[in-house]
Structure 1
Amino acid sequence: MNAGAVMQALVGGESGGYRLADDIPIPAPKPGTMLCRVHAVALSPYDAKIVDYSNTPDAVGGCDFAGVVVEVGEGVTRFKTGDRILAVTFGLSASDKSAGAFAEYALATEDLSCRVPDELSLTQASSMGLGIATAGLALFQAPGLQLATKLVPKEESDAKVFVLVSGGATGTGTMATQLLKGAGYIPIVTCSPSNNALCESYGAVACFDYNSPTCGADIREYTDNSLTSVFDCVTDATTMKMCYEAIGSSGGKYVALEAIATTIKYTRRDVAADWLMAPTILGTPVELPGAYGRPSTPEHRRFGTDLFLLAEKWIQKGEIKHHPLEIREGGLARIPTYVNDLRVGNVRAKRQVVPLIC
C-alpha cells in the first residue's frame, strides 16, 4: 500500500455520532497484524453504546469484519496476502484511532482472526468475530463463569452440567450456546417462544419463556435445583432477578455484559455476580471512563489466541455457524441509520450485516 494513501471510513464525529470521512489514512500493519480490504461489516449493540458513551472524534468505528489480507505485518505467520479472514477489533478507540472495522481497509490482529472456508461467504463470516470473543470470555475466563481452564471438550462423565444463557436468541447467545455444546456442557436458554426453534437449531436443549412470571422457577425445576452457571446476554434488573431465581440452592456464578443492578446482586450471598468488557481480549487496558475501564489483561489475550485457533477449526468443520443475518445495503454511509435501529430496539434475533464490496 502506498504511503500516504487514504480511504473512506466511518469515524467519530466532533459533536457526537458517526460521520463519513474520505481522507482517513490507510493504516500500515503493525507487528502481529494484517491490513485487510474489508468486504463486509456486522453491527452490534457495542457500536451504538460506545458512540453514545465514549465517542472519540476521528477514530474509526466498528468491531466485526471480514475481508482479504493485502499486507502482513512483522511476525505474522498464520496468514498471507490473499487469505480470506474474519476478525474482531474495537473501534472508536482513544488509544488507537486507526483501530476499527467501518472502513475500506482495516487492521486484523493475527491471533484474534480466523481463516474463512470457501463455503462461507465473507458477508456471512463478518458477523462471527465479536460473538466468538464475547461468548468465549464470558464462559471460560474471569470475570466470567470460568467453566474450564481450557476450551476443550469435557469428559463424557461430566457431560450433564447445565449452563443457562439468558437471551439465547441474541447474536452472543447463539454463539455461547454453540461454544457450550462444543465444550460438552448442556446449554439451556431463555427466549421468546417464537424463537425456540432458532435457539434449538444452535444446540439449546431446552428453551424457557422469559416473559413467564415462573421462568426462574421453571428452570430451577428442570435442572433439578442443580444450576450453578448463568450467562446473561440481556442484563437488566428483570432478567437478573429471573436468573438468580433459576440458580440452585447451592449457589453459583452469574456473569453479564453490562453493569449489574446492585439491588439484586446482593439478594443472594451464595451467587458470585460480575460483568465483563469484551475489549479486554486485546490484553491492553480498556480506556473508558468510570466502571467501564479495565486494566491490562494479558491472560485474556493468551486465552483469545487459543479461542480463535479452536474457533477456526470449528468453522472449517461447520460446527459453529453465524447468527441469522439481515443484509443491509448502502455501504458505510448508511451504517449510522442501522446503528440507530439497534439503539431503539428495532433489531431482534438477527445480526445486521453491511456489504462494502459486492
Structure 2
Amino acid sequence: MSTENLAAVLEAVGTALKQLNLPIPSPGENELLIRNHAIAANPADYKIRDFPSHLKQFPTVLGSDVCGIVSAVGSGVTKFKVGDRVAGFALVIANNKLEHGAWQTYTILEESATMRIPEWLSYEDGATFPMAFATAAVAYFERLGIARPVSVSSTEAQQSGILVWGASSSTGSAGVQLAKELGFKVFATASPKNHEYLKSLGAYAVVDYRDPDVVSKLAQLAKEAGTPLRLGFDSISEGNSSLLSANTLLASGGQDSKLVLVGPWPTDDEKPAGVDISMTIAAFAFVHHVEMGSWMFNEYLPQAIEEKKIVPAPKVQVVDGGIGAAQEALNIVKAGVSATKIVVRVD
C-alpha cells in the first residue's frame, strides 16, 4: 500500500481546495478503506465549497463518488475483501468526518454504501453510479413508496407512468434507468439534443423542457399511452422545474399525485394542492434508510450492472491531473455540463 494520501482539502468555506498529504486512515467497524482510482464531481461538491452548509468542521475533504480497490477492511465487514473492485458513496456530507470524503487517494466507506463492480467496468464509469443511484433510490423507495423488486429479473409492468424532469443529468439518467427496471413507462424532459440518449436508457417519451406546451404535451403523451402520471421525480430542482413537474402530474394523474425533488421547493412558488411534495437526499440511504441502501448497493445494483440492465450514464469526461485537478473538476461542474459526468482519474 502507498504511504501517501494526497488530498484536496477545504480549509474554509469559499476558499480554493488545497493539496495536502494526510495520514492514511484505518477502517473501523463495518468500514472499508478504498484506494481510489476515479472520483466523480457533483454539484453538491462546489456548493459546499462555495457556500455555508451543514458542514461545520474544517479542514475537510469533500466529495461523494469514488471507485477503486479495497485496501483494508474493518471488523464486522462480511461482504467485501481486500482486492475487490468497488464503487461507493463517501459519507462526509452526513458525518463530517474528513476521512470519509472522496477527494483523496484513500477514502473510508461504510459497507452498506459500497458496491462491487465487474472486471469489465472501468473505474471512471464506476464512479458515475453512487450518488445518482442513492438519490434515485431514496426518491423511489422511500419518498414515492414504490415497492422494491424481489430480484433484478422480477419486474412487472406498472399501471401508471412516471415523470423524470431534467433527465439528462446524472441523477436524472439514474432515475430513468431505475424507473424502467421497476416497470414504469418513463416520460422525461431534456434538451432535444439529449432525447435519443434518454430513449437509449429506456425513456418511453421525451419532451423539450423549454417547450411552452411541455405540460400539456406530457399529459397528452401519457394519456395516449394509457399510463397517467401520478409519480414524479424532479432531478434538477432549478428555476421553475418543480412547479412544472407538479403541474404535469396534476394535468395527467390528478389529485393524490406524488412528486419528489432534489432540492427545497422554491420560495417564490406556491405549492399546488393535490400533489404530495417531498425531497430526496442521497446520504439518507445510508443514514436513515440503511436497510434499503444496503440492499441497493450490496445486492440490487451490482447485479443489475453485471447483467447490463443498468449502464454507466451519462458519458464521462475525464479531467487529467489526479487529486490536484479537484478544483478544476468542481469548477467545470459549476459552469454547467449537459449529459456529462466529470471524473478525475487517480493514478
TM normalised by structure 2 equals: 0.90
- Distance in structure 2 (CA, Å) of the matches to 1:117 and 1:226: 37
Q: Residue 344 of structure 2 aligns to a residue in which SS?
A: strand
The residue aligned with 2:40 is: 42
Task: State yes or no: 1:276 paired with 2:277.
Answer: no
Alignment gaps of 5+ in structure 1: 284-296
The residue aligned with 1:125 is: 126
Q: Residue 154 of structure 1 contacts residue 184 of structure 1 at CA under 8 Å; is this kept in 2?
A: no
- The 5-angstrom pairing of residues 91-240 of structure 1 reads 91=92, 95-141=96-142, 144-148=143-147, 156=156, 158-224=157-223, 226-240=228-242
Which of these residues, 278, 292, 295, is aligned with residue 306 of structure 1? Answer: 295
The residue aligned with 1:61 is: 62
Q: Residue 61 of structure 1 contacts residue 90 of structure 1 at CA under 8 Å; is this kept in 2?
A: no
Displacement of 1:275 after TM fit? Answer: 1.4
- Distance in structure 2 (CA, Å) of the matches to 1:151 and 1:181: 15
Task: State yes or no: 1:315 paired with 2:320.
Answer: no
Q: Residue 66 of structure 1 aligns to a residue in which SS?
A: strand
**Deviation string for 1:176-227 (max 9, x for gaps)?**
1111111111111000111001101111010011010110111111112821
Alignment gaps of 5+ in structure 2: none
The residue aligned with 2:246 is: 244
Which of these residues, 256, 261, 265, is aligned with residue 260 of structure 1? Answer: 265
Q: Residue 190 of structure 1 contacts residue 207 of structure 1 at CA under 8 Å; is this kept in 2?
A: yes
CA spacing shift, 1:87–1:94, aligned 2, 3 Å: closer
Displacement of 1:90 after TM fit? Answer: 3.1
Q: Residue 236 of structure 1 contacts residue 260 of structure 1 at CA under 8 Å; is this kept in 2?
A: no
166-175 vs 249-258, greater mean Cα deviation: 249-258
- Distance in structure 2 (CA, Å) of the matches to 1:155 and 1:13: 47
CA spacing shift, 1:328–1:68, aligned 2, 3 Å: same
Q: Alpha carbon RMSD of aligned pairs, Å? A: 2.0
Letter of the structure 2 residue corresponding to residue 230 of structure 1: G
Displacement of 1:236 after TM fit? Answer: 2.6
Q: Residue 283 of structure 2 aligns to a residue in which SS?
A: helix
Identity value in percent: 27
- Distance in structure 1 (CA, Å) of the matches to 2:144 and 2:76: 33
- Distance in structure 2 (CA, Å) of the matches to 1:317 and 1:203: 15
- Distance in structure 2 (CA, Å) of the matches to 1:352 and 1:279: 20
Displacement of 1:237 after TM fit? Answer: 4.1
Which of these residues, 330, 339, 347, is aligned with residue 330 of structure 2? Answer: 339
The residue aligned with 1:356 is: 346
Letter of the structure 1 residue corresponding to residue 35 of structure 2: R
- Distance in structure 2 (CA, Å) of the matches to 1:93 and 1:227: 33
- Distance in structure 2 (CA, Å) of the matches to 1:167 and 1:101: 26
CA spacing shift, 1:151–1:169, aligned 2, 3 Å: farther
CA spacing shift, 1:94–1:82, aligned 2, 3 Å: closer
Displacement of 1:146 after TM fit? Answer: 1.7
Q: Residue 135 of structure 1 contacts residue 172 of structure 1 at CA under 8 Å; is this kept in 2?
A: yes
Q: Residue 329 of structure 2 contacts residue 343 of structure 2 at CA under 8 Å; is this kept in 1?
A: no
Letter of the structure 2 residue corresponding to residue 332 of structure 1: I
Letter of the structure 1 residue corresponding to residue 279 of structure 2: W
48-57 vs 32-41, greater mean Cα deviation: 48-57
Number of aligned residue pairs: give it.
335
Letter of the structure 2 residue corresponding to residue 306 of structure 1: W
Letter of the structure 2 residue corresponding to residue 161 of structure 1: S
Q: Residue 263 of structure 2 aligns to a residue in which SS?
A: coil
**Deviation string for 1:283-312 (max 9, x for gaps)?**
1xxxxxxxxxxxxx2xx1111011111001
